[in-house]
Structure 1
Amino acid sequence: MNLHEFKRIILEYHREINENVNTAFRFLGVNYGLTMLQFRLLMEIYRQGPHTIGSLAEACGIAGANISTMCKKLEKQGFVRRMRDQTDERVVRIRLTDFGEGTIREIDRYLNDKLTRILANEAEETFEMITAGMGKISSLLLKMGSDDEGEVGETP
């Protein structure tokens, strides 16, 4: 396979995977009024406990200003509570409300049931191949992102 073909295939799979993730998680918006990104934030808080805006941004790889805006919206929807730190008012802490925690547990249970049903007949080797392949893609993309040679518009 040549470089051009490899690049085309990777970009096409990226598009397909994004579309399929959106389709698979469409129920979040329909049933809970959540975007995939909001769900990721809520799951991070659910798994790791309360966060600051900064720690949540870092954990999810998203700019702090965007996290702050999303958390304000999630607070209005009743999923989280935002609190100023008593020792440093610049710091905002985010925690799940009882409603938010119950919702995430419900979604997590639904996903576990669905995945268990769908993946029940898959061989262990399938999971190993998928995770190894995704790890390799992630590693290659990390190398691309950290390579400071060949920036667009520059001539070597």
Structure 2
Amino acid sequence: MNDITKGMRIIELVKDIMKAVKKISRQQFDSLELTAPQGMLLGHLCRYGRMKVSDLSQKMGLTNSTVSGIIDRLEKQGMVKRVRSQEDRRVVYVEIMPEVKGAFEKNFKDMERKFEEILSRADEEEINTILTGLETLKKVLERYTKH
């Protein structure tokens, strides 16, 4: 296998893995009538508390305008709200509504358990191989993007 073929195979595998993760995640988010990006955004807010739109964008790997659109839809559903900073009115934070947070955290924990169940079917050597491979891929990609 030459390098181009290996590179394309890695891309295909990552794409297939992401597709499977999205499918599993979608099953969890469907019960809350959320899209995967909406679920990801709520997950970040649950984990980190209120955040600036720019920080959410960075964490999600999406543009500010894309994240703003997701926030708009969640705001219309009463799941999040925008709050202007008292110190700098140009800064806008997003926070999850308290009543949504509890339901979402339960759903998120269910999804975590599902992934743990899936991974429990692998032995320790397989888990270590997966982690080593993913960490190596990340390191190689980061090394490339720093140049």
TM-score by shorter chain over 0.5: yes
2:47 matched residue in structure 1: 47
Alignment deviations for residues 90-143 of structure 1 (CA, whole Å, 9 cap, x no partner): 111111112320232121221133233333343222222111111111122223
The 2-side partners of 1:82 and 1:135 are apart by 35
Identity of aligned residues (%): 27
1:99 matched residue in structure 2: 99
Corresponding residue SS for 1:34: coil
* Greater alpha carbon shift after TM alignment, 128-137 vs 10-19: 10-19
Uncovered stretches (5+) of structure 1, i.e. residues with no partner: 148-156
Corresponding residue SS for 1:78: coil
* Aligned length in residues: 147
Letter in 1 for 2:83: M
Q: Check the 8 A contact 1:41/1:56 in 2, yes or no.
A: yes
1:124 correspondence with 2:124:
yes
1:113 matched residue in structure 2: 113
Corresponding residue SS for 1:94: strand
Query: Which has the higher relative contact order, 1 or 2, with Cα contacts under 8 A spaced 6 or more apart?
Result: 2
Q: What is the TM-score when the length of structure 1 is the normalising length?
A: 0.81
The 1-side partners of 2:16 and 2:61 are apart by 22
2:71 matched residue in structure 1: 71
Q: What is the TM-score when the length of structure 2 is the normalising length?
A: 0.85
- Kindly state the Cα deviation for residue 82 of structure 1 after the two structures are TM-superposed: 1.0
The 2-side partners of 1:30 and 1:45 are apart by 19
CA RMSD of aligned residues (A): 2.0
Uncovered stretches (5+) of structure 2, i.e. residues with no partner: none
Runs of 4 or more, structure 1, over 6 Å off, are none
